[in-house]
Amino acid sequence: MDIRDYLRIARRRWLLIAACIGLAVGAAAFFTFRTTPLYSSQAQLFISTPGSDTTQAYQGSLFSQQRVTSYADLVSTRQVAERVVERTHSDLTPTQMASRVSATALPETVLVTISVRDADPETAQRYTQAYAEEMTSFITELERPAKGGPVPIKATIAENASLPTNPYTPRPLRNFFIAGFLGLALGFGAAITRELLDTSLKSPTDVTDVAQTPVLGSIAWDPNAAKRPLVTEISTHAPRAEAFRVLRTNLQFVDVDNPSNIFTISSAIPQEGKTSTAVNLAIALAQAGQRTLLVDADLRRPRINEKLGLEGAVGLTTVLLGKVGIHDAIQTHSRSGLDVLASGTIPPNPAELLQSHTMAELLKTLRDDYDTILLDAPPLLPVTDAALLAAHSDGALIVVRHGRTTRDQLAMSIERLKAVDARPVGIVINMVPVRRLGRYGYGYGYGYGYGYGYAPDGGKGRRKAKREEAHLNDGTPPAEPT
């Protein structure tokens, strides 16, 4: 992955990253304010040797540097802690006292820094000063020759114990900064992991990488679609209505040399909106003046008659069984002028009916009467009906649901079509959040999103759609779904 992929992941998963940062900072705040503040006082010892000339002073300095580290280690011993407890009359045990002190020897110097931590700053100062004084005596005792004589090395308090004014720990700003950084790293790692594990399709690039098929349109998600499923029932300014007009325009450039086209509309799995897409696309084609027929070829769970308010008892199965003529079975949707052939009675053998010679002859007859015929077929993966219909038609239009259909499901759907020598002519991405619609293609007007379109003519189709819908520029953008 390159930097653009990481930026895309951060933009897509920003809520997860922000949640991790918030949790980390919140945990840091909880422990910071629950922790008892500790103050640290410091004192400094200077280690020296007596010397009468320059050579002796230099040798004494080297000798002192060699001893400094050992003295720093002696500070935290139990013997020194017992002396400090006795000097300060502390209630602490020598072990407790030793646990509060630390000492460091500055490299290439003869300085030893002693630090003592305590909840009370004055107590920390008192203990530190006691340690410094006891160490000067202790070092003298250690270095005194057994046979008497001058002490070859001594410790002097170079800096008395300081009175701390700010807590040594906790440090809120430092803790929050570290927690925020760790939360960012954790959140970004979780976002990348989730992105790698999430195989759902969320962009035209995701779709084309799998299907090697152009995306003909992106349909905006509308929270009111269940109540008003048809584009004739919503404002012409709505992104969903605009998206179907763009899909209509792009579909016109598929097989432009063929005066009449038959397309099968299906999806990988149920609940992806393929029937709604088929109905609204057919309405958009009829409104553009094309002779359009919508056929409910989903003989297992027909829904078109319910959406359009038409009679479903007479339809495709009735015609295939020879009980009624094709022209007698076709109904017209009054609001759009769309011709519709309902499913008819649900048969026990849908696949056999759809692949029959009678079905093939019926489609040939209808091709002479209509410019475009749309077949609403069952999903591709559960049953074979859609693949059989696609083999009788000029191609299949596959509907995928944003954030739900997976890469594997789309790939398997494409394989089902190719197995019967049917071709996928395009993909429609359905239920795209409005905030993402502009990223799918081309911005238009007041935030209207043009779907990511297939334009084999070099973009003429998109320009034609813009000219057709230029009168919508004075619209007000709808509220974004929550």
Average pLDDT over residues 177-193: 92
Task: List the one residue out of 57, 189, 68 whose CA is nearest residue 135.
Answer: 68
Q: Where are the alpha helices (DSSP H) in 35-118?
A: 54-74, 78-88, 94-99
Contact of 217 with 243, CB cutoff 8 Å: yes
Average pLDDT over the chain, rounded to whole? Answer: 84
Residues 379 and 234 in one domain: yes
Global confidence as pTM: 0.62
Residues 273 and 183 in one domain: no
To the nearest 10 degrees (0 to 180), the angle between helices 3-12 and 14-34 is 70
More confident residue, 418 or 236: 418
Using pLDDT thresholds of 50, 70 and 90, give the confidence band for residue 437.
low
Residues 297 and 422 in one domain: yes
In this structure, the number of other CB atoms found within 10 A of the CB of residue 84 comes to 27
Q: What's the confidence (pLDDT) of residue 279?
A: 95
Contact of 180 with 21, CB cutoff 8 Å: yes
Residues 288 and 143 in one domain: no
More confident residue, 149 or 43: 43
Tell me which residue range forms the domain holding 20.
3-35+171-196
Using pLDDT thresholds of 50, 70 and 90, give the confidence band for residue 107.
confident
| Residue in the block written with tokens 């479903």 | 312
Residues 191 and 100 in one domain: no
Burial class (CB in 10 A: 0-12, 13-18, 19+), 412: middle
Q: What's the confidence (pLDDT) of residue 59?
A: 54
Residue 249, domain member (yes or no): yes
Residue 166, domain member (yes or no): no
Residue 148, domain member (yes or no): yes
Least confident of 138-152, 380-394, 428-442, 449-463: 449-463
Using pLDDT thresholds of 50, 70 and 90, give the confidence band for residue 69.
confident
Q: Each residue of 13-58: pLDDT tens digit?
A: 889 999 999 999 999 999 988 888 999 999 999 988 765 444 444 5
Q: What's the confidence (pLDDT) of residue 325?
A: 92
Residue 164, domain member (yes or no): no
Average pLDDT over residues 390-416: 93
Q: Where are the alpha helices (DSSP H) in 105-238?
A: 121-143, 172-197, 204-211
Residues 141 and 223 in one domain: no
Least confident of 125-129, 160-164, 224-228: 224-228
Q: Each residue of 229-279: pLDDT tens digit?
A: 898 888 888 888 888 999 999 998 888 778 889 999 999 999 999 999 999
Using pLDDT thresholds of 50, 70 and 90, give the confidence band for residue 350.
very high
> Residues in the chain, how many?
482
| Residue in the block written with tokens 């700010």 | 166
Whether 132 has a pLDDT exceeding 70, the answer reads: yes
Residue 94, domain member (yes or no): yes
Residues 8 and 67 in one domain: no
Residue 165, domain member (yes or no): no
CA distance 341 to 312: 9
Q: What's the confidence (pLDDT) of residue 457?
A: 40
**Amino acid in the structure at residue 361:** E
Average pLDDT over residues 196-221: 87
What percent of the chain clears pLDDT 90, i.e. is strictly above it?
A: 56
Residues 135 and 274 in one domain: no
CA distance 378 to 384: 8
Residue 479, domain member (yes or no): no
Average pLDDT over residues 363-373: 93
Average pLDDT over residues 428-434: 87
* Token code pair at residue 42: 């410091």
Q: What's the confidence (pLDDT) of residue 474?
A: 36
Whether 86 has a pLDDT exceeding 60, the answer reads: yes
| Residue in the block written with tokens 């004494």 | 60
Residue 113, domain member (yes or no): yes
Query: What is the residue-wise DSSP string for 285-335?
Result: HHHTT--EEEEE--SSS--HHHHHT---SSSHHHHHTTSS-HHHH-EEETT
Residues 406 and 371 in one domain: yes
Partner residues linked to 354 by β-bridges: none
Whether 383 has a pLDDT exceeding 80, the answer reads: yes
Contact of 207 with 225, CB cutoff 8 Å: no
Residues 18 and 88 in one domain: no
Least confident of 57-61, 117-121, 139-143: 57-61
Residues 112 and 179 in one domain: no
Q: Each residue of 283-304: pLDDT tens digit?
A: 999 999 999 999 999 999 999 9
Residues 43 and 146 in one domain: yes
